[in-house]
Amino acid sequence: MSEHVLLHLGYHKTGSTALQEQLFAKEETGYALPDEPRIDLIDRFVLPGPFEFDSAAVRAHYAPFLERTAKAGRTAVLSHERFSGYPPSGGFDAPLLASRLHETFPEARILIVVREQLSSIASMYLQYITDGGDRRLKDYLSPHGRYLKRSPGFSPCFYRYDRLVTHYRRLFGEDRVLVVAHETLIGDPQSVVDAISTFCGQTPRPFRFAQQNESRPASFQAIQRLVNRYIAPTEFNRTALIPHAGFAKRFGYLSRYVPRGLTRALDARIMAGIRYRVSQSFEGEFAASNRRLARMTGLDLAALGYQTSESQPVRSPDPLSVAA
C-alpha cells in the first residue's frame, strides 16, 4: 500500500506551494493529497513529544486515503516543507522526523527539492519575519553562543543538503530518493514534472504552473520585524506590548496593499544588502557539500550557480544597501 506514497519534504522556499496546490492537488496529474488541512501533518508528525509518536495510529488514519488512491492508479502525496526541519532552528528535529516518516511509510518514495544556499538563506530570513521573527539578520545568523546549546537556532549545517539526502537514502534506499533543483523547477518546470512522474511510476504529461503570488516587499518586512518585536507577541517573541497573538499576522495582510512600484528601488537595495551579508558570512561554506551532492545525484550544481569552490568571490554592493 505504501508503495503508492510520495513524501515531499521541501526544502523551504523551493516552490513547495506551487507543487502542493497545482501539481499534487490536481486529479488529472495522477497525484492526490489527503482531504484535510495541511497543518494536520504537523499535528501528526511534528508535534508529538519524543516518546509520544504512534506510527501505527498515523498509518491507520491514512489507510483509507492510500487505498482510494491506489485503486485509482494515483500516487498519494504527503507534502510539507517542515518535514525537512525548520531553517531558523537549524533543522534540529530533521532526523527525528525522518525516523517517524520511515516508521510510518517504510516503502514510500522521497522527493527533496534543493535551492542554492545563499539565495535560500536570504529568502528564508524574510519568511522568518513573516512567521513572527524579530531578529536583525546578523543576529539571526548568529543566534547564540556555543555553550550547551540549550535552545536551537540557525546553523549552516542545515544547508549542507548532502547530509539529509544521505540520511534518507540510508533509510529508504538510494533508488527511492529523488533530488531536484529549485532552479530547474523555475527554468524548466516540465523536466522536473516529468522526472517526478517517472519516479512515481506515473505517465509524464504536459503541465504548466500558473504564476504564484509575489512575495512581500522587503521594505514591508523591515516594518513587520519591528511590529513582531515591539507590538505583537509571536512564537519567537512573547513579551511584546499588545496581548493579541494574531496581531502580527493581521498586520502582515497589509503587505498586499503596498504599491510595488513605489517601493521597488528601496526593496532592491534592502535585498542587495541581505544577499551581500549572507555571501560574506558563508563564502565557500557549502562548496564541499555541493560537490558531494552533485556526485550523488548527477545534478550539475555548478552550472546552476551553487558554490562548488571554497574561493568564489563575494561582490561588493552599493554601500547604502547594507541595511540588514
Q: Tell me the pLDDT of the chain (324 aa) as tens digits.
A: 445 899 999 999 999 999 999 999 988 899 999 999 999 999 999 999 999 999 999 999 999 999 999 999 999 999 999 999 999 999 999 999 999 999 999 999 999 999 999 999 999 999 999 999 999 999 999 876 666 677 889 999 999 999 999 999 999 999 999 999 999 999 999 999 999 999 999 989 899 898 776 789 999 999 999 998 888 888 888 777 776 767 888 899 999 888 888 899 999 999 999 999 999 999 999 999 999 999 999 999 999 999 998 765 555 444 434 344
d(CA 228, CA 231) in angstroms, rounded, equals 6
211 DSSP 8-state letter: P
Indicate whether 191 and 227 sit together in one domain.
no
**Cell numbers given for 114:** 534543493
- β-pairing, 31-32 vs 177-181, is unpaired
Q: Torsions phi, psi of 229, nearest 5?
A: -80, -45
Q: What's the number of domains the chain is made of?
A: 2
What residue numbers bound the domain in which 179 lies? 2-199
Amino acid occupying residue 218: A
Q: What is the largest CA-CA distance in the chain?
A: 60
Q: Torsions phi, psi of 32, nearest 5?
A: -155, 140
Q: For residues 185 and 113, is the Cβ–Cβ distance under 8 A?
A: yes
In a domain? residue 83: yes
d(CA 310, CA 288) in angstroms, rounded, equals 8
Indicate whether 23 and 165 sit together in one domain.
yes
Q: Torsions phi, psi of 288, nearest 5?
A: -65, -40
Q: At what angle do helices 161-172 and 94-104 cross, to 10 degrees?
A: 20
Indicate whether 143 and 13 sit together in one domain.
yes
Indicate whether 12 and 71 sit together in one domain.
yes
Indicate whether 249 and 124 sit together in one domain.
no
Indicate whether 62 and 149 sit together in one domain.
yes
DSSP string for 43-55: IIIISS-TTT--H
